[in-house]
Structure 1
Amino acid sequence: MVARKPPIGAPPRPISVTSSFVFPTCRRLSAVMFVSSEERGEYELPPANATGETMSDERLVLHGSFTSSSSYKPMLFLALSGLPFSFRTVNLKNGVQKEAAHLAINRYGQVPVLRHRGLTLVMSNVILDYLARTTGHFEPKTEQHRWQAREWLSWENDALTNVARVRHFARFRPDVSQDIVNFFRPGAEAALDFADKSLAGREWLVGDACSIADIGCWGRMVFAHEGGLSIDGRPNLAAWRDRIKALPGFALPYDLIPKKDTEFEGR
């Protein structure tokens, strides 16, 4: 058996998650891609980054965009964790995500992408899952809570995505019919109502501390106001948002995600 590498920047608490937990979790999350160094195929990693500097396999490298809630979720995880990482910007407006260089690491032509230890991972919730298990940060303490955190991520990908859709059409597609926005709005409102109700009498979605469930769900809600959706009108949700904003290292997307390639040295 090959010994596992120690977690990077992890707290002393060990994480008892086996492969029987890892791979079923990945399969349950939608549109999963999890590529090992032995299975790179079309995702063969280039030996150097865009500037020609050789990147260490231990260095977390996140590709994303400052306008993307999907990019914000892993970016916020890294910021709250205080971990060093490299950010590579992908200009969605200019269509960089559809160019050959980006398609070589993300066949879907989307962001984010995480590269680490010979792996290439796409889809924001898969990346959150990986980061929690690899670093130990924002991973719930019990196995039951770990499963529930991933349950919330699956729900987010199904229900809270309506918030992103409303925001997308309201902000970026003024040319489309308002009927399209109105089609997704009831689902978005219902998802926010459900989250508000679920937070009644509790501080966090799972357990007694912030986890990837909170980061994933908040990361999708963060642009709600750009679609005319309100968090302030939901008291449990608003209090939860304020608790997240009070965490060390927190920043909103436009303050956190740079518009150019950046190195973050952590804290």
Structure 2
Amino acid sequence: MSAIKLYTFPLSGHSHRVELFLSLLGLEAELINLDLANGEHKTPEFLAKNPAGQIPVLEDGDITLADSNAILLYLANKYDAKRNWYPEDLLQQVEIQKYFSLAAGKLTFGPCNARLINVFGAALDKSFALTISHSFLTLFNQDLANKNWLVGDKPSLADIAHYTYIAHAPEGDVSLEQYPNVTTWLTRIEALKGFKPMQKTQVDSSNK
């Protein structure tokens, strides 16, 4: 049995970030799917792991970590000896941190929230989420106009942090058709050895 355990949920984009990166690193992990509908993430047992009651949570031996981007940094620093995903170059690290902030900001308030409304019936402002989504994707598309990857000349944690919610943005009624650089970038990630997709969601139109 793997020493790494990941508490996750099949439709969680934040959890998929970590699952994807574990797969790209070739690391085995025990995936523990929580029953969110019945509040398993709010039980005393789970709250002892993450008082915020949120997934993902990663256990690696006696280390317990929450927050998907923090987990990505941990895995890259511990298990990527060649420093491909989080380079030692300071300026590239700064760029990756910039993209982490973008993922926690406009990506979350845009494509992520639009999808939450459709898939889970979240009580959020759909119009606002769509406006943020297209503003974000317009700039993201421009950013990818003359490069294959977000930071440097190969994929990094910046790409992993953004992939899932952009790839599944159409589940929140955010079309990617007008963002060709973005869709080409998604295809590059999906061609990486070890790529693992997140299952697609059949959207309930009553949640729109």
| Alignment TM class, shorter chain as reference | 0.7 to 0.9
Residue 85 (structure 1) aligned to one of 29, 32, 35: 29
- Name stretches of at least 5 consecutive residues in structure 2 with no aligned partner: 201-208
1:238 matched to 2:183: yes
Return the TM-score normalized by structure 2: 0.88
Match of 2:87, SS?
Answer: coil
What is the CA–CA distance in structure 2 between the aligned matches of 1:126 and 1:88, rounded to whole Å? 19
Bigger fraction of residues in helix: 2
Shift of 1:66: 0.4
What is the CA–CA distance in structure 1 between the aligned matches of 2:36 and 2:135, rounded to whole Å? 29
Provide closer, same or farther for how the CA distance between residues 144 and 127 of structure 1 changes in structure 2, counting only shifts above 3 A: same
Residues 38-89 of structure 1, C-alpha deviations (whole Å, 9 max, x = no match): xxxxxxxxxxxxxxxxx77xx2211110010000001100111111221111
Per the alignment, residue 170 of structure 1 pairs with 118
Per the alignment, residue 154 of structure 1 pairs with 101
Per the alignment, residue 229 of structure 1 pairs with 174
Match of 1:121, SS?
Answer: strand
Matching residue's letter, 1:145: Q
Residues 8-36 of structure 1, C-alpha deviations (whole Å, 9 max, x = no match): xxxxxxxxxxxxxxxxxxxxxxxxxxxxx
Matching residue's letter, 1:121: L
Match of 2:147, SS?
Answer: coil
What is the CA–CA distance in structure 2 between the aligned matches of 1:239 and 1:106, rounded to whole Å? 36
Q: Give the aligned length.
A: 196
Shift of 1:141: 4.8
- Name stretches of at least 5 consecutive residues in structure 1 with no aligned partner: 1-54, 256-267
8 Å Cα contact 1:161/1:188 also seen in 2? no
What is the CA–CA distance in structure 1 between the aligned matches of 2:155 and 2:102, rounded to whole Å? 17
Identical-residue share of aligned pairs (%): 33
Per the alignment, residue 45 of structure 1 pairs with none
Residue 142 (structure 1) aligned to one of 89, 96, 99: 89
Matching residue's letter, 1:133: N
What is the CA–CA distance in structure 2 between the aligned matches of 1:81 and 1:111, rounded to whole Å? 21
| Structure having the higher Rg | 1
Coordinate RMSD, CA, aligned: 1.8
